[in-house]
Structure 1
Amino acid sequence: MAKIVIDEPCLTLPIVINYVGPKPENVYFEMRNLLKRIFGVEDKHIEERELRWDRSSAEEKFSSTFFVSKPLTEVTYIFVEIKIDGSTKPSKEFEREGRVSILIDPRIKNSVVQSSLMAGLFGFIYRRQLEAEVQKYKDECREIIKLLESDLKNFLGIRV
């Protein structure tokens, strides 16, 4: 069986948010709630991988990668990879302080299995029609990502 796959970036470049200040680790603890609220998805659409938290010294280092998928149609969805990388240490002025970097890389994905030869013949036409719709999906993706960026900056106290 053949498959038509579209995998398009929503943005020209991924978004990077850098923060230096009190309690940078809180962004990790809040990420799942932000993603559920902004994308309007349940936990089953959010996956966390590669959690690392090194507490072997006073300066704790942490990193994690979240993946969120928001269905748009039965075969099309927004797929976003969010990487968090930071460190935190005790502070005299604050309880803890440090830095965190957040990378947001959104994509539009579509995958349709062609189950017959006839479906394969119409694949080219289908792909052309779908590509026309991809721009609409990219616009929706950009709006959601702008909201995520704004809410993350607001959460961290970064002026927008």
Structure 2
Amino acid sequence: MSSTNYCTTMAKYNYWMNQKIYTICAEIPNAKRNEDLGAFFKSIDGTLNHILVGDRIWLGRFTQNPFAAKLDQSLYSDFEQLRQERDRTDQEILTWASQLSPGWLDAPFTYTTVTTPTKTVTRPAWLLVTHFFNHQTHHRGQLTTLLNQLGYAPGVTDLPYMPTL
């Protein structure tokens, strides 16, 4: 498996899934999307915001454009603004992933943690990029559970069924 192919495939998967999730979420009334459903980030909108926060933080690290935010921060209370920023961020992720090199992915990468700003961590870049994409999938899994509980079926979410493969 090519490490750069993995990254571009996962960036495309991220885009595809976010399009599906946000299309469904647009059908749900604001009050229902913001209702505390017992999820880690409480609501659908809380979880959508957290995924975006995580993406902006990691992308900022990877591109040397730091993004300061708390992990539970709600960046946008307005769903359409959140959706627009999600789309913009996904386009940025697609572009970034298409420009990665095996050398960059194999090199050590040092970053400062959000939870302990005085702590730095060094890991291979490929591992952190894998975490970046895994984090998105983890929380989208939580979203699909919440959506199903509310009667909204997201349909097929498996990577091998992504239309652009």
**More helix per residue:** 2
| TM-score (ref. length: structure 2) | 0.33
